[in-house]
């Protein structure tokens, strides 16, 4: 109580001095700031007391070390508190935040966080979390210069240019804004997968899963964009396309090949990618015996298309199921 009394006495002296030197307006503004700070301190005290009452070992157990399950890379926006909106407890989530949830290969801050989380803490999940209504993405949609932050937003502007055709087909600016938020998250997942830290972890068999999601300001819900992206590949962009989903389709404990969609895709993979091309090759050979080279070539082209389709489906299923198909 003595400390609190001294704090109040100091605040009174500061207010009196400002009132004398700068007038009531400046003194009132400073006093308001001091009150806001005190509110945070009071909230912290209540939070500490509540957790200590509910679990007497709460602070002692966390003082021994941390073992988070998630690394979350999110936006600095004050409306998107990552731990709060996911219901994560203290010690469950390692967090890095910046404007528009960017993952730059030259950002030593983000890469240091990533390396520590993956190599030292051994987190099994890395989540890139964007949000609709992101000010950074909104700025990247504008041609107006904003100063220093323009250097930071260059990657989002590149994503916008790369997907210009898709964005132009959307009905209005709001839809384009939301879609660019989603594309930004997916692009940052790709950047994350390309980092030496993640590539090394995958090669060594650690295999942290990378996820991408967007938080909805209007309903408070997370929409999953990329899930279970964990396959090292020379063609990461192709693998990312296959990892994009609306929701996780298979619940825990469900046998992989009992999913009807996977069965259908598996059948199509065999018919279009293996059986079909074999039939096309036989037909092409029979046509050459007529002989009719032009027709044989056309049939062979159809077989090649079937092989390509089958390989794409194979990559999709292998990524989803976790073993080659």
pLDDT above 60 (res 78): yes
Residue 17 has pLDDT above 60, yes or no: yes
Q: Which is it for strands 93-98 and 70-75: parallel, antiparallel or unpaired?
A: parallel
What is the 3-class SS of 65-90, one letter each residue?
CCCCCEEEEEECCCCCCHHHHHCCCC
Q: HSE (CB half, 13 Å, CA atoms) of 114?
A: 30
Residue % of the chain over a pLDDT of 70: 74
- Give residue 124's pLDDT band: very low, low, confident or very high (50, 70, 90): very high
Task: Give the relative orientation of helices 276-288 and 293-321 as an angle to the nearest 10 degrees.
Answer: 170
pLDDT at position 15 over 70: no
Average pLDDT over residues 242-255: 39
Region 7-29 average pLDDT: 63
Report the range out of 158-167, 231-240, 307-316 with the highest average pLDDT: 158-167
Range in 12-26, 72-86, 294-308 the model is least confident about:
12-26
Q: How confident is the model at residue 76 (pLDDT cuts 50, 70, 90)?
A: very high
**Catalytic positions, please?**
75, 77, 79, 131, 134
Q: What angle do CA 193, 67, 226 make, to 5 degrees?
A: 30
C-beta separation of 212 from 187 below 8 A: no
- Token pair recorded at residue 188: 């940052």
In this predicted structure, the answer to whether residue 234 has a pLDDT above a threshold of 50 is: no
What was the pLDDT predicted at 24?
Answer: 66
> Residue 135 is inside which H or E element, if any?
helix 135-140
| 19: its two tokens | 């009132």
Q: Say what the pTM is.
A: 0.67
Judged against a pLDDT cut of 80, whether residue 54 lies above it is answered with yes
The closest alpha carbon to 187, from 244, 232, 231, 138, belongs to 244
Work out the pLDDT band at 11, boundaries 50, 70, 90: low
The residue-averaged pLDDT of 91-120 equals 96
Looking at per-residue pLDDT, the higher value among 279 and 264 belongs to 279
Tens digits of per-residue pLDDT, 186-211? 999 999 999 999 999 998 988 899 99
Greater confidence (11 vs 169) lies with: 169
Question: According to the model, what pLDDT value does residue 151 have?
Answer: 92
Q: Cα–Cα distance between 179 and 185 in angstroms, integer?
A: 10
C-alpha to C-alpha distance for 249 and 31, rounded to whole angstroms:
54
Highest mean pLDDT among 23-27, 45-49, 305-309, 311-315: 45-49
- Cβ–Cβ < 8 Å for 309, 277: no
pLDDT at 254 over 60: no
pLDDT computed for residue 30 by the predictor: 75
CB atoms within 10 A of CB 1: 5
- H/E segment holding residue 98: strand 93-98
Best CA proximity match to 192, nearest among 253, 250, 129, 135: 129
pLDDT at 167 over 90: yes
Q: Which residue has the tokens 């938020």?
A: 181
Other Cβ atoms closer than 10 A to 283: 16
């Amino acid at each position: 109580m003595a400390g609190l009394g001294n704090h109040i006495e100091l605040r009174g002296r500061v207010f009196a001095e400002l009132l004398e030197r700068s007038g009531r307006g400046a003194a009132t503004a400073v006093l308001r700031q001091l009150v806001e700070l005190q509110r945070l301190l009071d909230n912290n005290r209540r939070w500490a007391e509540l957790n200590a009452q509910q679990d007497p070992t709460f602070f002692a157990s966390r003082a021994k070390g941390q073992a988070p399950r998630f690394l979350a890379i999110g936006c600095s926006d004050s409306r998107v508190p990552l731990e709060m909106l996911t219901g994560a407890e203290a010690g469950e989530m390692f967090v890095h935040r910046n404007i528009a949830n960017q993952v730059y290969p030259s950002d030593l801050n983000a890469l240091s966080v990533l390396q520590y989380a993956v190599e030292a803490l051994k987190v099994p999940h890395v989540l890139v979390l964007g949000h609709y209504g992101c000010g950074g993405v909104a700025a990247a949609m504008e041609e107006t210069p904003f100063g220093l932050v323009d250097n930071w937003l260059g990657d989002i502007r590149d994503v916008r240019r790369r997907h210009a055709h898709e964005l132009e087909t959307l009905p209005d600016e709001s839809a384009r804004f939301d879609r660019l938020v989603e594309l930004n998250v997916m692009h940052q997942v790709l950047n994350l997968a390309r980092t030496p830290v993640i590539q090394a972890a995958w090669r060594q068999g650690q295999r942290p899963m990378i996820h991408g999601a967007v938080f909805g300001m209007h309903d408070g819900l997370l929409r999953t964009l990329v899930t279970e992206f964990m396959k090292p590949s020379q063609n990461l962009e192709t693998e990312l396309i296959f990892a994009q989903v609306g929701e996780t389709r298979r619940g825990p404990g469900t046998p992989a090949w009992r999913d009807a969609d996977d069965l259908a895709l598996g059948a199509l993979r065999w018919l279009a990618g293996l059986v079909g091309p074999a039939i096309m090759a036989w037909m092409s050979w029979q046509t050459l015996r007529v002989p009719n080279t032009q027709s044989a070539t056309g049939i062979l082209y159809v077989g090649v298309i079937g092989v390509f389709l089958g390989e794409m489906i194979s990559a999709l299923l292998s990524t989803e199921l976790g073993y080659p198909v």
